[in-house]
Structure 1
């Protein structure tokens, strides 16, 4: 199973972050399946790739350490594909989502830590 993670600290009020992230994931043509105040789960639209390459994206918003100006969030991008190649489908989607978060005009990126 391929799994890639990254943490970010962004400068945006916590109450604005979740709706902005939902919009960002939808703009990336991911189907948002579930969300609440501190968790979002999205996936690729069925039919675009084989089931084993089907990617799910989870976003966790850390409300416990959030301040008025900074919020920490983490993403987990995973699928059932064995990561036999460095540049596999899951890694490509991870990089796509990571870059979208890092370059979003809706907040200022303070820190990005890939895991």
Structure 2
């Protein structure tokens, strides 16, 4: 199983962050499956790759450390594909979603802790 993670702290209050994250995910080829105040789950739209390569996106928003000006979140992306190559499909989708998050003009990134080593 390929799995890539990264954590962000953004200069944005908790209540605005979730709505903006949903907007960012809608720009990527994923469907939002589940959404709560502190969790968003999406899945890649079927049809372009085989079923085991379909990527699941999870965004966990840390409400416990959120302040009126900053909120932390963790992005986890995974699929059933073995990461036999560095540039596998899950990694390509991870790059696309992280680029969409990092280039969004609605917030300012305060911190980014990358942990994108694949795990099996």
Q: What interval of TM-score do these two structures reach, taking the shorter chain for normalisation?
A: over 0.9
Output one character per residue of 1:46-83: Cα deviation in whole Å (capped at 9) or x when no partner.
11210111000000000000000100000000000000
Quote the offset at 1:29 in angstroms.
2.2
> What's the TM-score, normalizing by structure 1?
0.98
Q: Which residue of structure 2 aligns with residue 24 of structure 1?
A: 24
Measured in 2, the distance between the counterparts of 1:101 and 1:91 equals: 15
* Contiguous gaps of at least 5 residues in structure 2: 116-120
Indicate the RMSD between aligned Cα atoms, in angstroms.
Answer: 0.6
> What's the TM-score, normalizing by structure 2?
0.94
Q: Which residue of structure 2 aligns with residue 49 of structure 1?
A: 49
Quote the offset at 1:45 in angstroms.
0.6
Q: What does residue range 1-115 of structure 1 map to in structure 2 within 5 Å? A: 1-115=1-115
Secondary structure of residue in 2 paired with 1:37:
coil
Number of residue-to-residue matches in the alignment: 115
Which contiguous aligned blocks of 4+ residues in structure 1 show a shift greater than 3 angstroms?
Answer: none
Measured in 2, the distance between the counterparts of 1:48 and 1:69 equals: 39
Output one character per residue of 1:14-57: Cα deviation in whole Å (capped at 9) or x when no partner.
10011110111011121000101000000111112101110000
* Contiguous gaps of at least 5 residues in structure 1: none
Measured in 1, the distance between the counterparts of 2:43 and 2:3 equals: 14
